[in-house]
Structure 1
Amino acid sequence: MYQILSRIAEGLARALALVGGAVLVGIIALTCVSIIGRVFVPLDIGIGPIRGIYDITEIAMATAVFAFLPWAQIREAHARVDLFEPRFPLRLNRLLDLLFNIAMAFVAGFGTWRLYLGMMDKYSYGETTLIAQIPVWQGYAASLVGACGFVIVSLFCALRAARRLAGIEDHA
């Protein structure tokens, strides 16, 4: 059962990271097109920058950041201060790792809940971005996909840390 959960968490984190990467590549492409469009403005031939590129970039960056969080969690790549880790016994380090993962799962869940409430608030008021008039709730919804993945992966990582503390090694 654990191996199945491990594959699911790893696959979810990988898929979201790939989506996040694709979003970043899309931002780069749109930015380049917009910049090239600015070159043609003085020629007055009807080609110009992309309207609302800042709005699009802002939404896409938030989406990408949330999409990368599960990958960082599954790979244990979040910033850590491990100044005393070499001096602590292995069992204490594993206990601290479990506590960290439980705390991260709590933060992920709390943040996802608040992101959902923010999305519902933006949706109910019909707020849009200033230039492109994109409904703001859509950016929240796109970010919510990565945030939900972050919760799932964080819960798995807490399970993984608990197994390590119990002395059950991963055989994946």
Structure 2
Amino acid sequence: MKFLEWLNAFLNKVLLVLGGIAVLALMTLATANVVLRIFYAPIRGTYEIVSFLGALVIAFALGYTQKRKDNIIVDILTERFPERLARLVDTFAYLVMTIFFSIVTWQVFVWGAKIWRTGELSETLKVIYHPFILAVGFGFGVLALTTLTDFLNKILNRKEG
């Protein structure tokens, strides 16, 4: 369990740094494009690149956000439950989330592999974009790992995070 928690923390930190770099690149590109438009020289393909980077930013933040419990949680019902029942519901929710995000990870990787196999290119810049899809799949995989860690901590009656 210690290794799983270490791996989870390590991967989330790495993705957090990579997501931060993607945000900086996105902001720099968008700002440069706006400034250059004033001089009638916009950067070609900005919309595509910003879209790819935005997908990375979101996917890379998922696991870290779950780890910190910064997601919006609707607990209007469970806050009225006895502690034991609320804990059971939380445990079940973590199990469902782990299964769901594992399936999402798998399907995103299947889609990325298909795009890779067919050699599909982006519409404007005509560049390969399967690495972005696979990176998003990895982000969802880390989220699934994070929810699995939360689930196991609930079962073992340990503090999460």
TM-score for both structures, normalised by structure 2: 0.90
Give the aligned partner of residue 39 of structure 2.
40
Size of the aligned set, in residue pairs, is 161
Give the aligned partner of residue 170 of structure 1.
159
Paired with 1:87 and 1:170, the residues of 2 have a C-alpha distance of 21
> CA offset at residue 171 of structure 1?
9.5
Paired with 1:26 and 1:84, the residues of 2 have a C-alpha distance of 42
The alpha-carbon distance between structure 1 residues 126 and 4, as it changes in their structure 2 partners (threshold 3 A), is closer
Match 2:93 to one of 94, 100, 125:
100
Q: Which letter does structure 2 place at the counterpart of 1:170?
A: K
Paired with 2:69 and 2:129, the residues of 1 have a C-alpha distance of 32
Alignment RMSD, CA only? Answer: 1.9
Give the aligned partner of residue 50 of structure 1.
43
Paired with 2:31 and 2:56, the residues of 1 have a C-alpha distance of 20
> CA offset at residue 93 of structure 1?
1.0
- Describe how 1:90-169 pairs up with structure 2 within 5 A: 90-164=83-157, 169=158
Whether contact under 8 Å (1:128, 1:134) holds in the other structure is: yes
| Structure 2 gap segments, 5+ residues each | none
Q: Which letter does structure 2 place at the counterpart of 1:93?
A: A
Encode CA deviations 1:97-116: one digit per residue, 9 max, x unaligned: 11111111111100010001
Q: Which letter does structure 1 place at the counterpart of 2:46?
A: I
Larger Rg: 1
Give the secondary structure class of the aligned counterpart of 2:154: helix
